[in-house]
Chain A
Amino acid sequence: MLSSELVIAIAIGYVGLLFLIAYVSDRLTRSGKAAFLHSPFVYTLAISVYCTSWTFYGAVGSAARNGLEYLAIYLGPTIVFIGWWFILRRLVRISHNQRITSIADLLSSRFGKSSRLAVLITIIAVIGIAPYIALQLKAVTSSIHAISRVGSGSIGGIDEVSLALAVAAGMALFTILFGTRNVDAKEQHLGVVAAIAFEAIVKLAALVATGIFVIYVGGGLEAIFSRAEAAGVDIYSIGTFDDRWVAMNVLSAAAILCLPRQFQITVVENSNENHLRTASWAFPGYLLLVSLFTLPIALFGLTSMPAGTNPDMFVLTLPLAAGHEGLALFSFIGGFSSATSMIIVESIALSIMVSNHIVMPLVLRFTQGRGTVRGQGVSQLLLNSRRFSIAVILGLGFLYFYLTRDSNALAPIGLISFCGVAQFLPSILAALFWREATLKAATAAVAVGFVVWAWSSFMPSFAGSSTLVAGIMAQGPWGLTWLRPEALFGLTGIDPLVNVVFWSLFLNTLTLVVVSLLTSPSALERVQAGLFIDLFRPSTSGSPSVIRGSATAHDLFFVAERVLGSTRATALFADIPPDPPPQFIDRLERELAGSVGAASAHVMLSKVVSGDAISIEEVFKMAGETRQAIEYSQELERTSEELRSTAAQLENANLKLRELDGQKDEFLSQVSHEVRTPMASIRSFSEILLEDDLSEGQRHRFVSTIHQESLRLTKLLDEILDLSTLERGERPWENVSVDAEAALERAIDVCAPLAKRRNMQIVVGPRAGRATIEGDADRLCQVLINLLYNAIKYNDAPEPMVQARSRCSRGRYVIEIADNGPGIAKADRKLIFEKFSRGQSGVPTPAGAGLGLAISRQLVERMNGKLELVPSPDRGACFRVTLPLLSR
């Protein structure tokens, strides 16, 4: 017999070893020397966290009581892994794409990033897992008792409850030290995974060793089975493959997907999708090895141990009975391994859910998002909330253990948890495959399943400790027998497990389908559904940006730093412009989602980005819920910081509007001036003409002035229209290949008569000869006429002349129109292309030319060219048009 001090000391020493493994693995990973940790086999071994003390101790007990039934717990997961291509691969891909951190996050993300659904899932998971944790506590305490015999040492007198409390507290401490050292963006814990993989080897080795020992001691397999048959044990598992077998297979298949720890290891901790490939056969292989010796151990125990021995502890008591204390101790370590690995991973996974989906949203709600958490930083807050959650989770496990301490078998406790988390399965499958599934339906379905489970599976486990529950079990509530938990809706005569599995999953699925058909998804749900379901369709690369707005990089960085820590945030913002593009906000959202869950990340960023009124509206539209809209707006009202930033944004917008208004004002005033000037002469001369005491010569002269001024007015109005359509880009425009030299020729021809009237000559300088550009021939001609016309009309030189020359150089076609007129004053060279430039300085820019150059420049730019005023060799002005040559 081993002393309990020794056993506990060994257990603590073993925990220390695990800690060392985790620590060294983390260090190795950080220095990049731990390639083997990224191996698919480490991943597979970590997945076998599925095998807990239930497997190690409980399966033998189950086999002793119900024969081959225990295998159902491993066959369901086998099927799921063999079909990895269809479900697991999708889950892993989605979770990578969407930075999913937990099963609550997954469902919340799929159903419109709903925080309420995440909260519901988290609460159900925490309650549903409590029995499972209790199972581990029970197994550890039972095993310590079994191996060391109460009373054999100074602490041997401790009763089971105190021991379980001590184990729970120790586990809580250990998990906190182990799993909450830092907040990783992807929630991956390589050190933990390494330790879990190590434990997987230990527990398998211990079980196999015990199995081989039993077969050796029992004189071979055949002898063991024969002896059992002779002793009256049903070795053929008669009636095993019935509805209960089916129910258990369904539950175990659901559990491998829905258990928070399995999701954590299989999906969240997955660093490479191809690791699933290996796990698809290696994990079922592990399960097969683990269950290979279960039945022989059970049968040998039944035949060799005294009646009334707890079959759950056969793996310890058989070696002890044979005097092999070393093997018993090894076996104990194996069982301890299986319990600790489950507790560590499960409570890490649950604590992530609790802190991301319950604590963080509450903090966000009550602290204005980015206000008061300033001093501490969100990452510290996250760590603390996780530590707290771990303590609560283990506390709940202990509480359940305490309340149900009278029941003795391990396996039925585990099945309660399996059935609880299996309520997520319909929604998960709908999330992956059914586009029409809605948030309301998923929420209702999970809630209905949970209620049925709580009534028919969870509550009955308290029958031993509560007479009220025992009464309900016997007669139903208020005497309503059809509500008896184990014979729900009058369905009597079937196994209670089948009863609850059937009713909970049936009503769950029914609710999901019916409510989905009756409700319609919000826009955001539709977007997310697309991302989940069209996962492998190439067209949906990257998620569409849902949050759009005008947050500055500074604001976003502020949030990112609080959540991700400054190192990660700095790296993330390395090359981001002050005005980050929507894709970046989207990417940031996913990064944040990795730390705080999709719903919280979405709310956080919405808040930051909501400075833009349009974006708030957009977010509302996406969220599609009035209630949410009200929430958001209340938030806005409450948050002075946001009000301030909104006010600043408004002021900014106002300023811009005013500026635009000012520009428009200026333009209108210029137009007014340009129109009024010719109008003044027209009106004045008309009045003079009306008085009718003029000579024929005067009359003719005045009429022709009116005529000219009207022409000028018309031209001006044409130009204004021309310019405004050009500026708005309304004018239909097609650039085609144009013979530019021909256009120049035409412009010269048009202007020649005017030049002749003014006694000037148009000197045609060196010419390019041939030049094809891409543009509009008429428009090019218009520009050139305008330039020639100005050069002719306002030339006051004694011997006025204008030169037109063209050339091709370096892929460009260049036309220059030079004159020997007054030229353009230096100060005005930049202004002449502005509309009504003469208004700016009172320089004698010719009347009517106010818009011509502005239009010309616009036209040339439309042809991808440039119109500029270049320094002229002699006096006068020289305008140059440069257009890209069309390469043949």
Chain B
Amino acid sequence: MGGKLISGALFLTILGTLLLLPPLANVFQLQRRFFGLPAELIYLFACWGVLIAAAFWLSRRLPREAEAEPRNEDDT
């Protein structure tokens, strides 16, 4: 299942980039406030929070090396 998760990680990275840059970021330039806060502020922090949560989820599932990483101590 590692392959799909890695694709997921790549997708998340690209999606995050797209969400935070124009033109998508401009969609929420509403000049309106929700809960007293500007819409774009809520949008950016919400995206940010979702990205962090998704990264947390992925970080526990992305494949691990079976053994310890090669540390060069005795790889002759």
| A→B interface (CB under 8 Å) | 68, 71, 75, 78-79, 81-83, 85-86, 93, 96-97, 99, 220-223, 225-226, 235-238, 240-242, 245-246, 249, 272-274, 277-278, 280-281, 284-285, 288, 292, 295, 541-542, 581, 583-584, 587, 590
Contacts and interface: CB of A to CB of B under 8 A. Distances in A.
A245 B59 CA distance: 28
Contacts of A93: 69
A238 B31 contact: yes
For the residues of A in contact with B, the DSSP-based class is helix
Contacts of A295: 41
Contacts of A82: 9, 12-13, 16, 51-52, 54-55
Contacts of A284: 48, 51-52, 55
Contacts of A220: 36
Given A225-B38, A241-B29, A281 B52 contact: yes
Contacts of B53: 281
B55 A221 contact: no
Contacts of A288: 45, 48-49, 52
B22 A241 contact: yes
A81 B26 CA distance: 24
B48 A96 contact: no
A443 to B, nearest CB: 28
Contacts of B69: 93, 96, 272-273
> 5 shortest A-B CB distances, which residue pairs?
A222-B36, A83-B13, A281-B55, A281-B56, A241-B25
A99 B72 contact: yes
A245 B44 CA distance: 13
A295 B42 CA distance: 12
Interface of B: 6, 9-10, 12-13, 16-17, 20-22, 25-26, 29, 31, 33, 35-41, 44-45, 48-49, 51-56, 58-60, 62, 64-65, 69-72, 75-76
A75 to B, nearest CB: 5
B75 A86 contact: no
Contacts of B52: 78, 82, 281, 284-285, 288
Nearest to B60: A277
B23 to A, nearest CB: 8
A236 B40 contact: yes
Contact of A79 (B13, B22, B26, B33): B13
B20 to A, nearest CB: 5
Contact of A81 (B55, B64, B76): B55
B10 A86 contact: yes
Contact of A225 (B10, B22, B37): B37
A590 B10 CA distance: 32
Contacts of A583: 76
Contacts of A242: 22
Given A81-B55, A542-B75, 5 more contacts: A71-B44, A86-B9, A221-B36, A238-B29, A246-B21
B13 A226 contact: no
A235 B59 CA distance: 36
Nearest to A286: B52
Given A281-B59, A542-B75, A221 B25 contact: no
A245 B40 CA distance: 14
16 contacts: A68-B40, A68-B44, A78-B48, A93-B69, A96-B71, A97-B72, A220-B36, A225-B36, A225-B38, A236-B29, A236-B39, A242-B22, A246-B21, A281-B53, A284-B52, A584-B76
Residue among B31, B48, B62, B70 facing the most chain A CB atoms (10 A cut-off): B48
A281 to B, nearest CB: 4
A85 B16 contact: no
Contacts of B58: 280
A78 B71 contact: no
A347 B45 CA distance: 33
A116 B6 CA distance: 37
B22 to A, nearest CB: 5
A288 B20 CA distance: 14
B13 A587 contact: no
A280 B55 contact: yes
Residue among B38, B39, B62 facing the most chain A CB atoms (10 A cut-off): B38
A245 B25 contact: yes
A220 B35 CA distance: 11
B34 to A, nearest CB: 10
A226 B36 CA distance: 8
A762 to B, nearest CB: 56
Contact of A236 (B13, B25, B31): B31
Contacts of B26: 241
Contacts of B21: 241, 245-246, 249
B12 to A, nearest CB: 6
A558 to B, nearest CB: 21
Contacts of A249: 20-21
Contacts of B41: 68, 237, 295
A242 B21 CA distance: 8
A83 B38 CA distance: 29
A221 B9 contact: no
Contacts of B72: 96-97, 99, 587, 590
Contacts of B16: 78-79, 82
Residue among B12, B59, B64, B71 facing the most chain A CB atoms (10 A cut-off): B59
A501 to B, nearest CB: 14
Contacts of B35: 221-222
Contacts of A292: 45
A78 B51 contact: yes
Contacts of B38: 225, 235-237
Residue among B6, B60, B71 facing the most chain A CB atoms (10 A cut-off): B71
Contacts of A75: 20, 44, 48
A79 B20 contact: yes
A498 to B, nearest CB: 13
Contacts of A86: 9-10, 13
Contacts of A238: 29, 31
Nearest to A81: B55
Nearest to B32: A236
Given A238-B29, A587-B72, A85 B20 contact: no
